[in-house]
Amino acid sequence: AQSVTQPDIHITVSEGASLELRCNYSYGATPYLFWYVQSPGQGLQLLLKYFSGDTLVQGIKGFEAEFKRSQSSFNLRKPSVHWSDAAEYFCAAEGGGSYIPTFGRGTSLIVHP
Amino acid sequence: DADVTQTPRNRITKTGKRIMLECSQTKGHDRMYWYRQDPGLGLRLIYYSFDVKDINKGEISDGYSVSRQAQAKFSLSLESAIPNQTALYFCATSTGAGELFFGEGSRLTVL
């Protein structure tokens, strides 16, 4: 079955530190891949997406993600975290022309001052 | 104004009551979705619609129904609400090119 796994339920970092949120997928072929962010009381907003081509994808708010086919991973990174980055982050995948994204369970990012 | 608007934003109701959550969009997208969010479970798809005459069940459709009144409107109904339907509900739209556009959510509490 197709699935998206985010191994970390919570991640705590200090402001200014680097960040990496993990995402693994299980699909028959390489799916489209997405990262969304949900700020408290808000809906989800797209950070970045990968369809094909360059495996390092740049997104909004200083985020980037790297697609690694050999590891079935699409990890999200940011070199220096700001307090305003505290939020819930969701990885999602869409495959086989379904137009139906499957979401991971989310990772809650806590930022300490 | 938001591109995807959900009403109500918050609702408290009692077991057995009928509830309707409404979603309207100004993005002109054909594809619309209803998701449910529970802590630790991420987003799970309830129903989706690719055009006005197309309605499809998602992974957790039991206990829910939908209506696509127009391209811009997609409503979710709970015919007889139960406490385990307490959750945050999201409507989303898409062009089919991958990105979903979400409303701000409707928080439903069933007592």
Query: Which phi and psi (to 5°) does residue B22 adopt?
Result: -110, 150
Closest C-alpha among A50, A51, A72 to residue A59: A50
Mind listing the pLDDT tens digit of every residue in chain B (111 residues)? 669 999 999 999 999 999 999 999 999 999 999 999 998 889 999 999 999 999 999 999 999 999 999 999 999 999 999 999 999 999 999 987 778 999 999 999 999
| Res B1: pLDDT | 60
Q: Are A19 and A77 in contact (CB under 8 A)?
A: yes
Q: What pLDDT is stored for residue B37 in this prediction?
A: 95
Indicate the pLDDT class of residue A99, thresholds 50, 70 and 90: confident
For residue A40, name the pLDDT band (cuts at 50, 70, 90).
confident
Q: Give B94's contacts in chain A (Cβ within 8 Å).
A: 99
Q: How far is CA A76 from CA A16, A63, B59, B62, in A?
A: 16, 7, 27, 34
Q: Do B42 and A41 touch (CB under 8 A)?
A: no
Q: What distance in Å separates the CA atoms of residue B64 and residue B85, rounded to the nearest whole number?
A: 10
B31 vs A99: CB contact, 8 Å cut-off?
yes
For residue A44, the distance in angstroms to the closest alpha carbon of chain B comes to 6
Give per-residue pLDDT as tens, A43-76: 899 999 999 899 999 999 999 999 999 999 999 9
Interface of B with A (CB under 8 A): 4, 31, 35, 40-45, 48, 50, 58, 90, 92, 94, 96, 98-100, 102-105
CA distance B43 to B21: 17
**Cβ contacts (< 8 Å) between B90 and chain A: which residues?**
43-44
Q: Which residues of B touch A104 (CB under 8 A)?
A: 42
CB A28: neighbour CB atoms within 10 A?
8
Distance CA B16, CA B31 (A): 30
Is A1's pLDDT higher than 80? no
In the prediction, which pLDDT does B98 show? 74
Listed in sequence order, the residues at least 6 apart from B64 whose beta carbon sits closer than 8 Å to its beta carbon are: B34, B46, B47, B76, B77, B78
Q: Please report, rounded to a whole number, the percentage of residues in chain A having pLDDT higher than 90.
A: 81
Is the CB of A90 less than 8 angstroms away from the CB of B94?
no
pLDDT for res A61: 94
pLDDT band at A104 (very low <50, low <70, confident <90, very high): very high
Q: How many Å separate Cα B50 from the centre of its chain?
A: 14
Sign of the CA dihedral A53, A89, A42, B104? positive
Q: What is the mean pLDDT of chain A?
A: 93
Contact yes or no for A53/A43 (Cβ under 8 A):
no
Report the range of poorest mean pLDDT among A20-24, A102-106, B45-49, B97-101.
B97-101
Per-residue model confidence (pLDDT) at position A50: 94
Q: Per-residue confidence at A35, pLDDT binned at 50, 70, 90?
A: very high
Interchain CB contact of A34 with B (< 8 Å): yes
> What is the structure's pLDDT at A20?
97
Q: Does the distance separating the beta carbons of A9 and B105 come in below 8 Å?
A: no
**Residues 6+ positions from A29 with CB-CB distance below 8 Å:** A95, A96
